[in-house]
Amino acid sequence: MGLQNTKHPKVKQANIPMLGLDSAGKSTLLYKFKYNDTFLTIPTIGFNVDMIEMGKNFTLTFWDVGGQQKMRQVWCNFLENADGLLYVVDSSDKQRLEESKKEFELILKNEFIKNVPVVVLANKQDLPGALNAEEITRKFKMKKNCSDRNWYVQPCCAITGKGLAEALHKLITFTKHSSRSKETGTVFKEIKTP
């Protein structure tokens, strides 16, 4: 499988992998970004990719990668060309917050995303007992773990869309002027899923 987008000399595009444990809400978020609508999601086997125009001459390409244990082995393939990272957390799933934090810390150790900006989406804020942005910031040790990059923790609800405009705005601000975001089409290399 190969993907190539069309060359358009003036369009800047940034690659944004969306990672996080299974069921964090990544696919729901992607549909909401793209269509401003909610769809019935099924667990993502492999990945979904969508390019979304963010105003004139700037496109974000979102890579929504499955979060099941076996898919996490291939997350690193999606980091190589990343201009920004969206890390999605189910803020209400207290039992798996530690697991999510460990995976997050593993990602940050990857050389490919050294200094790459990170937006953490503290999703499912509508659910009772969800940790708020400050609590997620502390739990994920953002100040320590992301001291070498721009970062932001955005509370949101993928179902209603609350908080998503702010998250996109942050992503755009972080990535738009980054030297890593490219000014022409990008050739997406083949990615094998287990």
What residue has token string 């890593």?
180
68, 69, 125, 154: which one is catalytic?
A: 68
Q: Please, what is the angle between helix 26-35 and helix 164-176, to 10°?
A: 80
Residue 68: active-site member:
yes
Q: Applying CB under 6 A, does 27 fall inside the site for ligand G3D?
A: yes
Alpha carbons 84 and 101: distance in angstroms, whole number: 18
Residues contacting Mg ion: total by CB under 5 A: 3
Closer residue to ligand G3D, CB minimum distance, 26 or 72: 26
Q: Which does 106 bind (CB under 5 to 8 A by kind): Mg ion, ligand G3D, none?
A: none
Closer residue to ligand G3D, CB minimum distance, 47 or 174: 47
Q: Applying CB under 6 A, does 97 fall inside the site for ligand G3D?
A: no
Each residue 159-178 as x (binds ligand G3D by CB under 6 A) or -, in order, gives: x-------------------
What residue has token string 């496109």?
59
CA distances from 106 to 73, 83, 102, 158 (A): 11, 18, 6, 25
Q: Applying CB under 6 A, does 45 fall inside the site for ligand G3D?
A: no
Q: Applying CB under 5 A, does 27 fall inside the site for Mg ion?
A: yes
Structural element, H or E, at residue 138: helix 133-139
Q: Segment contacting Mg ion (CB under 5 A): 41-49, 110-118, 140-148, 180-188?
A: 41-49
Contact indicator for 10, 48 with CB cutoff of 8 Å: no
Residue 157 CB, shortest distance to ligand G3D, in Å, is 4
- What does DSSP say about strands 58-65 and 47-53: parallel, antiparallel, or unpaired? antiparallel
- What does DSSP say about strands 118-123 and 3-4: parallel, antiparallel, or unpaired? unpaired
Alpha carbons 151 and 142: distance in angstroms, whole number: 8
Which residues bind to Mg ion, rule: CB under 5 A?
26-27, 44
Which residues bind to ligand G3D, rule: CB under 6 A?
20, 22-28, 41, 43-44, 67, 123-124, 126-127, 157-159
Residues marked active site are found at 68
